[in-house]
Chain A
């Protein structure tokens, strides 16, 4: 939805406009690339084992009949989860 984790981490960082040729116009490097590590080998647990508050918001998806849930609070620290189910290569982004 938004670069939420940047808000948390960038409090003491002075952002600078980076003028590298391949960077998009107006791009501001707030944190070093890689500081917010994407999840590329996700691990899942069964619903009954998941310690998630009942009122917590999740991104729920069903791919090839397989339901998966991503806590938004957990995604805040990673922004992106790369995964594959069947033939579907997807990224969960928050």
Chain B
């Protein structure tokens, strides 16, 4: 989820129809600026250099669970349809990237699922399988993040990601934010008043090809 407000105007995004390094590039309809999801910024055009503003308000979840959490939810409908066949099952199971694209950075395999984010102008990634049960990382003197995945998560399920200036610790099997004492509820995806960290789940080749200097959190 991204804000559409940049430099005092509201833009409408759409797919450009093109890729950079096998990854989606959007354009906005107002300035025709090109926006890279993987780089998290405008990469060419009038708004070049503007960071995409992530709104950490969403999660990928199965419909039955979402509907259970929010019975009052409304669902997008297009031409009378709210769902469609899964056209990409084979792609997600394939070890190769789009059109056979492979990762050049061999720290992880091409299609390794990762959680990726940008912070302070730098790119970070962590492999899904290393995040089972939760893992804290320190990015700077006063910046700590906690990334969490359950041990039965589908790769589609969003990684839970939070940021704190005080840090996180395990207490009796639960992740707790230092200072506030807030506890992570992995089922609900909530962490008291802890701040959610913007980011997204993707494949290693998509992110690393567009962020060759990405830090791999291990």
> Which residues of A are interface residues toward B (Cβ below 8 A)?
1-8, 15, 18, 22-40, 42-47, 50-63, 66-82, 88-93
Contact = CB atoms under 8 A, between A and B. Distances in A.
Most buried by A among B17, B77, B87: B17
Which 8 A-B residue pairs are closest in the complex by CB-CB distance? A38-B14, A3-B24, A44-B74, A67-B70, A50-B75, A54-B64, A67-B73, A31-B17
A74 to B, nearest CB: 5
Contacts of A8: 87-88
A43 B78 CA distance: 7
How would you classify the secondary structure of chain A's contact residues: helix, strand, loop or mixed? mixed
Interface stretch (B4-12, B125-133, B175-183): B4-12
Contacts of B74: 44-47, 66-69
B64 A55 contact: yes
B14 A79 contact: yes
Contacts of B206: 2
B13 A80 contact: yes
A69 B66 contact: yes
Contacts of B55: 63, 88, 90
B19 interface: yes
A28 to B, nearest CB: 5
A66 B58 CA distance: 12
Interface in B131-169: 154, 156
Interface of B: 1-5, 10, 12-27, 32, 34, 36-37, 43-45, 55, 57-64, 66-67, 69-78, 81-88, 91, 98, 154, 156, 200-203, 206
14 contacts: A3-B25, A26-B21, A38-B15, A51-B82, A57-B63, A60-B66, A61-B57, A61-B59, A63-B55, A69-B74, A70-B75, A80-B15, A82-B13, A90-B3
A79 B27 CA distance: 12
Given A60-B73, A69-B75, A71-B75, A3 B5 contact: no
B58 A52 contact: no
A80 to B, nearest CB: 5
A45 B77 contact: yes
Contact of B23 (A2, A25, A60, A74): A2
Given A69-B66, A74-B82, A76-B87, A82 B12 contact: yes
B110 to A, nearest CB: 13
A56 B201 CA distance: 17
Given A62-B57, A76-B87, A3 B34 contact: no
Contacts of B91: 4, 7
A35 B17 CA distance: 7
B27 A33 contact: yes
Contacts of B58: 59-61, 92
